[in-house]
């Protein structure tokens, strides 16, 4: 519980002797600048002696004056950096060069998650958390790195995770091991790749449960998918943005990790041990 310092003062000011109260009022009146100066300056401004200032900060619960100052600084920095008054800073004309691509990407992310129900997210998480089943990840030309990223994390929290990399023929050889109860997570955005479609079709034929992460126009793989998550990708750039998909991936990683909490904690510990040796 981080009560702000001004709250702290308001709370204790009534229990203070006169001089310390003067210190408190001076601080409130010049909040927070005077508190960042030296004890001498503070005491001078308040018209009390230095020890009074020290007793004052001590009464607030700080062990030393520097500690009190650090608290003030952090509070200040937190206020300035917080996003909702960040907006004020951004709109300054001098700054000007706000980043259109970034703004668009954020808008995409918001919209993407707005269309994503907790239900849907839960279903997909369940599918990806089925420890007994195998989980295969696959992506397209530009989305494969996202599949790689996801696989890198999921391999840590659970077993049976395979990233289908390299040549198409190589994926196909993996089909032999894929069956009912197994899960295939595919990323596919425009221009949709035939190779992915063909593979998804075959996987579905073998009873594999397919999760598709695609763009808002939906890859044809949607036809074979049990779950479909659609993200926005349009930005003012020659290229589409996969940032929303990336965040979808991170969200799934986090959810699966949380869901497998106990078992993954053990697993992570074992992995750390292996690494140390």
Partner DNA sequence: CATAAAATGTAACGTAAAGTACAGTTTGCC
Partner DNA sequence: GGCAAACTGTACTTTACGTTACATTTTATG
Whole-angstrom distance, CA of residue 246 vs CA of residue 181: 26
Number of residues that bind DNA (CB under 7 A): 17
Q: Residue 192 and residue 233: Cα distance in Å, rounded?
A: 14
**Euclidean distance between CA atoms 231 and 245, whole angstroms:** 6
Give the three-state DSSP class for 210: strand
Binding mask 160-199 for a copy of itself (x = CB under 8 A): ----------------------------------------
Q: Of the candidates 29, 205, 234, 254, which one interacts with a copy of itself according to CB under 8 A? A: 254
Selected binder of DNA within 50, 174, 216, 263 (CB under 7 A): 50
x-marked contacts with DNA along 28-47 as a string, rule CB under 7 A: ----------xxx-------
For 183, the token pair is 């899960």
Q: Smallest distance, Å, CB 120 to a copy of itself?
A: 11
Q: Around Cβ 42, how many Cβ atoms within 10 Å?
A: 24
Secondary structure letter of residue 224 according to DSSP = G
220 touches 197 (CB < 8 A): yes
Looking at residues 64 to 93 of the shown chain, list those that interact with a copy of itself (rule: CB under 8 A): 70, 73-74, 76-77, 79-90, 92-93
Q: Does 66 sit near DNA (CB under 7 A)?
A: yes
Figure out which of the listed residues 9, 24, 60, 65 binds DNA, where binding follows CB under 7 A: 65
Are the CB atoms for 198 and 169 separated by under 8 Å?
no
Strands 227-231 and 161-163: unpaired
- Could you tell which of DNA, a copy of itself, none binds residue 20, using a CB distance below 5 to 8 A set by kind? DNA
Binding-site ranges for DNA (CB under 7 A) = 17-20, 38-40, 48-52, 54-55, 64-66
């Amino acid at each position: 519980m981080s009560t702000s310092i001004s709250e702290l003062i308001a709370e204790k000011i009534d229990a203070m002797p006169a001089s310390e109260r003067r210190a408190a009022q001076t601080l409130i009146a010049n909040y927070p600048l005077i508190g960042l100066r030296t004890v001498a300056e503070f005491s001078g401004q308040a018209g009390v002696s230095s020890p009074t200032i020290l007793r004052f900060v001590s009464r607030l619960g700080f062990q030393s004056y520097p500690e009190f100052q650090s608290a003030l600084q952090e509070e200040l920095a937190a206020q300035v950096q917080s996003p909702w008054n960040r907006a004020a800073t951004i709109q300054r004309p001098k700054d000007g060069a706000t980043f259109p691509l970034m703004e668009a990407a954020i808008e995409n992310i918001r919209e993407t998650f707005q269309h994503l129900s907790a239900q849907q997210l839960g279903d997909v998480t369940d599918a990806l958390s089925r420890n007994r089943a195998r989980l295969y990840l696959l992506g397209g030309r530009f989305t494969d790195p996202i599949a790689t990223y996801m696989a890198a994390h999921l391999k840590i929290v659970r077993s049976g995770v395979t990233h289908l990399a390299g040549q198409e023929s190589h994926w196909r050889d993996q089909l032999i091991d894929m069956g009912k109860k197994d899960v295939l997570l595919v990323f596919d955005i425009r221009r949709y790749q035939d190779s992915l479609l063909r593979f998804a079709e075959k996987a579905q034929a073998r009873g594999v449960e397919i999760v598709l992460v695609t763009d808002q126009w939906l890859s044809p793989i949607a036809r074979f998918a049990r779950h479909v998550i659609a993200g926005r990708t349009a930005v003012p750039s020659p290229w589409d943005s996969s940032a929303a998909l990336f965040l979808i991936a991170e969200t799934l990683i986090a959810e699966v990790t949380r869901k497998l909490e106990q078992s993954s904690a053990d697993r992570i510990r074992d992995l750390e041990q292996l690494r140390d040796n």
